[in-house]
Structure 1
Amino acid sequence: MYYIIYSVSSQFIEKQYVKSNTIDKREYQVNIADSIKSQNSIVVLPTGLGKTVIALLSMAESMINNPTKTCMILAPTRVLVHQHYEFLLNSLNLSETEISVITGEDTLKKRQTKWQNQIVCATPQILQLDINRGIIDLEQFSIVIFDEVHRAVGEYAYVPVAQSLYSKNNEIIMHGMTASLPSESSKIEEIMNNIHAAHIEFRDRESEDVKPYVHDTKVEKIEIELTDDIKTISNLIKKTISSYSLKLRNNGQLLPRDPSLKAVLAKIHHIEKDPYLSKRWDIRNNLYSLVRLLHGINIIETQGVDSFSKYVSRLKSKQKSSGVKKLLEHPDFSQAIILTDRLQSLGEDHPKLAKLESIMEANLRGTDKAIIFASYRDTVDKIFEVLHGKGYHIGILIGKSGQTGQSQKQQLESLEKLKSGEFDIIVATQVGEEGLDVSECKLVVFYDNVSSAIRFTQRLGRTGRRSPGKVVSFITKGTRDETNYYISQQRLSKSQRTIKRMNKNYKKPAEKKGLDKFL
């Protein structure tokens, strides 16, 4: 038997296990939690609208119906796992000993005990590891929440974990949470099959039960024209690309004069599988150089002189590779490097930087906050340098990989400083897009554009929650910036149409429920 009890009169959710006067009652969250209570589902809800609250309500419901069993929420990163733990601890009438965080830092003995707690927060990787070790009773779980469920494809740990749980415990409830799903119906179906979901609950900011809780977000596209000098550098790189494409065509490898990165990577994949061509290092080196050139042209056109200069420096550190050495000695590419060095010595960079300064000056007042998204760490560093020099209290939020990455502790410190007002601005890479509880910002700037509808939705959700917000998207004309922007819009629109259509027609995967449970 399933039931959900809410107080109709209160402005807060009143429910067993939920602390009183803690969580604002929002109609759409209550509606979604009620809709998914008895069937495996995927919840698609824009960033910032409280997917974690829905997860909490679902787990509270599960504890009411199955008080002796364990609820589990999985998230892709340790930072997200700890964030969920803090939210649940502050929102539920459970003690620290009843809610646990499980990571690889715990000893095996400690993990064995923690897996039996009332609520478990973990990464899927540590769960998979302990499932393989046989130290978990999979029948003890009543519900599992897959945060950022769009990752549940291919070989990602969500897939084997869900299969293991379901094969041993087909009464378990599985819910996935995400801001967006892929635009292709086959990929959505793959995700649904992988977590045995039968239903999608979709909301956007225009949904009737969501509208009362969101504010208008103005999206302003600002077109940026490259300077003549950057255009010259870009054209020199394009000539180098054409030169390498010609070399490959002369060796029987058909590529257009202006190949896409996708086409080059596909060609590399094909050659590496071929017994003969895989030994042709001249062909392979030329293809690898094309990848470097295509990456480089994207950096100079969408990020700027300083970022491209740092990219070239990293290439120079790899000159032991004959392919890299030949690339750096190519007359057109070496000329592009010389011009880059000259521009850097003159302090010239991408026109986006000057525009960013004026946007900040025009939009930030008093305690207003902003988040700037950039795809590359070098660009994050440059933006930090420029805006810090203008007197802004600014921090960064980047991933932990590499020598210059941020630890989990440093990431959380940056978020807390933005929340407390110590920082006016955070400059973030992709780590700031997915799931992290970034404080409400008046202004969000897309310094560059991504083709992913999911990432676009995640970026957009950082403003317009509690008050009207503004999004500014920089689009460098005639570059990947422009292409990515329009691809993301097409994919977002297609994704929403596909979800609505599939939710009407989707047939859930064959289940073992039914007679099996009586045998």
Structure 2
Amino acid sequence: MPTESSSKDQLNSTEVLSDVDADISWEEAATSLLTELEESSFSSPSPSKLSNTKPSVLQEHSNINSNQCIQPTLEGKIVRDLSFKPRLVTEYEQENYWEKDIEALNYWVYPEMDEFREYQRCFCELAFYHNLLLALPTGLGKTFISAVVMLNFYRWFPTGKVIFIAPTKPLLQQQRTAVIEITGIHAYNTTELNGNVSIEARCKEYRSKRIFFMTPQTLNNDLRSGFVDARSIVCLVIDEAHKATGSHAYAQVIRTILKHNSHFRVLALTATPGSTTSAVQKVIDCLHISKVIVRNEESVDIRPYVFHKNIQVLKVELTRDMQYLKADFADMYFPFFDFLRKKKVIPGTCDLKNLKSYVLLLALRKYSFRQKENQDKEKLKIFGYFKLLITCAHAMYLLDCHGIIQFYQKLHEIQTETEERKSGELYRLFSSNPFHFYMNHLQHLIANDHFMNHPKITHLTGILKEHFQQATQLNSNSRVMIFTEYRITAEQILKAFSNEKPLIRTSLFVGQANSVDSVGMSQNLQKEIISQFKAGIINVLVATCIGEEGLDIGDTDMIVCYDTSSSPIRMIQRMGRTGRKKDGKVFILVTKNSEDVKWERAKASYRRVQKVIENGQKLILKTDVPRLLPPTCSPTIRFQKLNSIHQQSFAGLTDNDKRDESQVETLGSQPRRQLPSIVDDEFEDMKSNLRIPTPEIKLRRYLADYRSTVYHTHGTSINLTKSAIVSKVRTPYKIGTKSLLDFQISALQTKFKSCTHEEIQRYKKYEGKWKRKKRKLI
């Protein structure tokens, strides 16, 4: 039986999570925790069964393993030390890991660029001698620094492998292209590997290539399976390194390599290393970091290269209807709230109308520790009440910060789930007559012609109209990104601007995962949307979390955060999308007395972490990181132009790796070109015997053919939904607009008059191929 002091220590450890993990799925965490607690309290499982029980969401964050090193943080909390002492290597073993190019070790190459930045040179040099965690604001050259480091390790160790790992495949493609362009390394010496590549193909690439761009899951699996030798790795670059905590694939990769190889270099890149001091320490431990460099926009060495961001926080008050909805919903779960308050298992400061999920979850965990040996029925009842309140708190958050439609859909989803089980406290509440009356009231409210989902929409409309009207007067091609947490909120934002064309041309930008009512975006579609956004065809991109990290979406003039997060990492990633090449604007929409508290907490957490890292007194760095370069070797910098090498880098690409540049050059020497899989209204091709189109024709296609249609929620050309949506408030994804199709049809009718019968039949043949491809997408 644990002592009271040990319980308090574990509780304090959990409290650290309140800021870091405010964005996790609290319902999932509550369900997982309740299931485990109920089994341990009422089923009395054997110790062997308990040892094999899958840990809950919160345990994965807060449990302290007895075999792990325990250390205090700045706040006096206890955190895990996930690192372990790597296997020591002898001098003889070190010399036999990889061959060294003694002549190349005399200097290191720095590419000559249009603009030289001293901080980039300094950080590159430090990365040669330390396992470096580098935190730089977005847009200040993390990709350039990583490319220079990879280039020099590639030169120095001719038999060593240089690996770049990133969480997403589009990010890998982007980084591979950037490294080739910056360093001039031949493209046939690089490869991109992920789970879609067969094992045989990966093994072949490991034998023939030296620079790899991989997902961490693929690398970890291949290391454990023995397809790649861990001792051959000389440099590992990790993008979005703040994810490397706990059992993340990044951490697993480092542990797997350290079991066999202590002699390799780590360069970890991120915009923000962590939300709290303990989170930063976990990253340091997991990645075996020996030096940390953190810069913000106020740092002296990078300030000359940072453009100003004008950040405005707009506090939005709920409408009277929304306040009534909150009060009525709170009245329905008041009996459950009052019962727990009288039992003194929830804090007395809890507000009935402003419940917070993480506060309730921490109270539940505290109660479970206090009543660990108690197995009466009241304990099970309290667990059920906690789960109900956590669920209701999340629904109330959606009403507060996102809108009535999101609130209604969440309640409808919970109601459907509880009706299937027909048991539990949630079923009692969501099957009651007052709740059915409440849902009917919501339906009538949404069906009203003057319905407003959330007052944030009104503020957002005013901000965008004013911005684009000014841009039109200045004849400027301005671009805006809107960030929101949920896909349904992004859909509602898009719907609100459907009648504002051509001033505001919006598009969704979401992930690949399928939701209940719609499918995600494929990677090709994501690339197409980004291309349209950069070209100005789309001037407003409504993005979920996929737009926050990594992808090269380009610089934007203004960022609008439709909702906020208590995690400073996400907020900094969002705001980093503007202010790269010129001054930018940031508008943050917060609900008064709800989100404004989260925003202030995120700022305070960020300032606290920055101060601790700058002082460097509370972070424990690794001291057992070996030197890779010979002790007598101190390479000097050599500036070198690499453009000439880059011109040759595409010459050695295999057929699978050829990009658009090499493809056009190869086809240009042939009398005919390969027919495209989709032929639209390109009659210029038919009249020119299907030869290479001119740049003017390619531009015309890009602006007007099927492939440049805007991805949004209107039109009837191609329906990408899995099934018809019954709910009136859910808008399915579609691609193509009626106006664009009408324009194409009229253009076709004009072109048909000047074409021969043979040309028309040829066009119809390939138009049929396009229609067959379209049917496959549905």
TM-score (norm 2): 0.61
- SS of structure 2 residue aligned to 1:388: coil
Partner letter of residue 457 of structure 1?
Answer: I
Query: 1:57 is matched with which residue?
Result: 148
Matched, 1:325 2:432: no
Q: State how far apart, in whole Å, the 2-side matches of 1:144 and 1:124 are.
A: 11
- SS of structure 2 residue aligned to 1:115: helix
Matching residue within 609, 612, 620 for 1:495: 609
Residue deviations 1:95-144 (CA, integer Å, cap 9, x gap): 33211111111111111122342211111111111112121111111110
Matched, 1:68 2:159: yes
Matched, 1:469 2:561: no
Moved more, 249-258 or 426-435: 249-258
- SS of structure 2 residue aligned to 1:59: helix
Deviation at 1:467, TM superposition (A): 1.0
Moved more, 143-152 or 248-257: 248-257
Within a 5 Å distance, the mapping from 1:114-513 to structure 2 comes to 114-116=205-207, 117-248=209-340, 254=346, 256=348, 258=351, 259-266=355-362, 276=375, 282-318=381-417, 319-321=419-421, 322-323=423-424, 324-330=426-432, 333-334=435-436, 336-346=438-448, 347-364=451-468, 365=471, 366-391=476-501, 392-403=504-515, 404=518, 405-479=520-594, 481-502=595-616, 506=619, 508-511=621-624, 513=626
In structure 1, runs of 5+ residues without a counterpart are 7-12, 15-20
Partner letter of residue 27 of structure 1?
Answer: E
Partner letter of residue 473 of structure 1?
Answer: I
Deviation at 1:452, TM superposition (A): 0.7
Moved more, 361-370 or 305-314: 305-314
Deviation at 1:45, TM superposition (A): 0.5
Matched, 1:32 2:123: yes
Residue deviations 1:240-295 (CA, integer Å, cap 9, x gap): 34332234457885565545311333455678896847997654443332222111
Query: 1:17 is matched with which residue?
Result: none
Partner letter of residue 484 of structure 1?
Answer: K
Partner letter of residue 299 of structure 1?
Answer: L
The answer to whether the 8 A contact 1:372-1:426 is kept is yes
Q: State how far apart, in whole Å, the 1-side matches of 2:325 and 2:336 are.
A: 17
The answer to whether the 8 A contact 1:237-1:332 is kept is no
Q: State how far apart, in whole Å, the 2-side matches of 1:34 and 1:449 are.
A: 37
Moved more, 125-134 or 271-280: 271-280
Partner letter of residue 99 of structure 1?
Answer: T
Structure 1 residues 375 and 2 mapped into 2: Cα distance closer, same or farther (>3 Å)?
Answer: farther
Q: State how far apart, in whole Å, the 2-side matches of 1:483 and 1:80 are.
A: 33
Q: State how far apart, in whole Å, the 2-side matches of 1:184 and 1:450 are.
A: 14
Structure 1 residues 513 and 463 mapped into 2: Cα distance closer, same or farther (>3 Å)?
Answer: closer
The answer to whether the 8 A contact 1:217-1:471 is kept is yes
Residue deviations 1:140-192 (CA, integer Å, cap 9, x gap): 11110111111111111111211222332222000111111224333322211
The answer to whether the 8 A contact 2:307-2:579 is kept is yes
Query: 1:9 is matched with which residue?
Result: none
Structure 1 residues 2 and 217 mapped into 2: Cα distance closer, same or farther (>3 Å)?
Answer: farther
Q: State how far apart, in whole Å, the 2-side matches of 1:106 and 1:154 are.
A: 27
- SS of structure 2 residue aligned to 1:219: strand
Deviation at 1:397, TM superposition (A): 1.5
The answer to whether the 8 A contact 1:99-1:119 is kept is yes
- SS of structure 1 residue aligned to 2:312: strand
Partner letter of residue 173 of structure 2?
Answer: H
Residue deviations 1:370-390 (CA, integer Å, cap 9, x gap): 000111111100001111321
Deviation at 1:329, TM superposition (A): 3.4
Moved more, 309-318 or 97-106: 309-318
- SS of structure 1 residue aligned to 2:554: coil
- SS of structure 1 residue aligned to 2:120: helix
- SS of structure 2 residue aligned to 1:239: helix
Q: State how far apart, in whole Å, the 2-side matches of 1:420 and 1:225 are.
A: 37
Structure 1 residues 166 and 242 mapped into 2: Cα distance closer, same or farther (>3 Å)?
Answer: same
Q: Percent identity?
A: 25
Structure 1 residues 350 and 248 mapped into 2: Cα distance closer, same or farther (>3 Å)?
Answer: same
Q: State how far apart, in whole Å, the 2-side matches of 1:62 and 1:113 are.
A: 22
- SS of structure 2 residue aligned to 1:28: helix
The answer to whether the 8 A contact 2:561-2:589 is kept is yes
Query: 1:18 is matched with which residue?
Result: none
Q: State how far apart, in whole Å, the 2-side matches of 1:424 and 1:221 are.
A: 23
Q: State how far apart, in whole Å, the 2-side matches of 1:482 and 1:317 are.
A: 33
Structure 1 residues 298 and 335 mapped into 2: Cα distance closer, same or farther (>3 Å)?
Answer: farther
Residue deviations 1:443-466 (CA, integer Å, cap 9, x gap): 100111111111111011011111
Q: State how far apart, in whole Å, the 1-side matches of 2:186 and 2:322 are.
A: 58
Structure 1 residues 98 and 233 mapped into 2: Cα distance closer, same or farther (>3 Å)?
Answer: same
Q: State how far apart, in whole Å, the 2-side matches of 1:237 and 1:299 are.
A: 13
Query: 1:45 is matched with which residue?
Result: 136
Deviation at 1:332, TM superposition (A): 6.0
Query: 2:677 is matched with which residue?
Result: none
Structure 1 residues 70 and 250 mapped into 2: Cα distance closer, same or farther (>3 Å)?
Answer: same
Q: State how far apart, in whole Å, the 1-side matches of 2:606 and 2:196 are.
A: 38
Query: 1:80 is matched with which residue?
Result: 171
Rg: which structure is higher? 2
Deviation at 1:341, TM superposition (A): 2.2
Matched, 1:109 2:200: yes
The answer to whether the 8 A contact 1:182-1:491 is kept is no
Q: State how far apart, in whole Å, the 2-side matches of 1:278 and 1:85 are.
A: 59
When the two chains are superposed, the root-mean-square deviation of aligned CA atoms in Å is: 2.7
Partner letter of residue 448 of structure 1?
Answer: D
The answer to whether the 8 A contact 1:251-1:283 is kept is no
The answer to whether the 8 A contact 1:239-1:332 is kept is no
Partner letter of residue 445 of structure 2?
Answer: L
Q: State how far apart, in whole Å, the 2-side matches of 1:2 and 1:448 are.
A: 52
Residue deviations 1:222-257 (CA, integer Å, cap 9, x gap): 111110111111222333343322344578855655
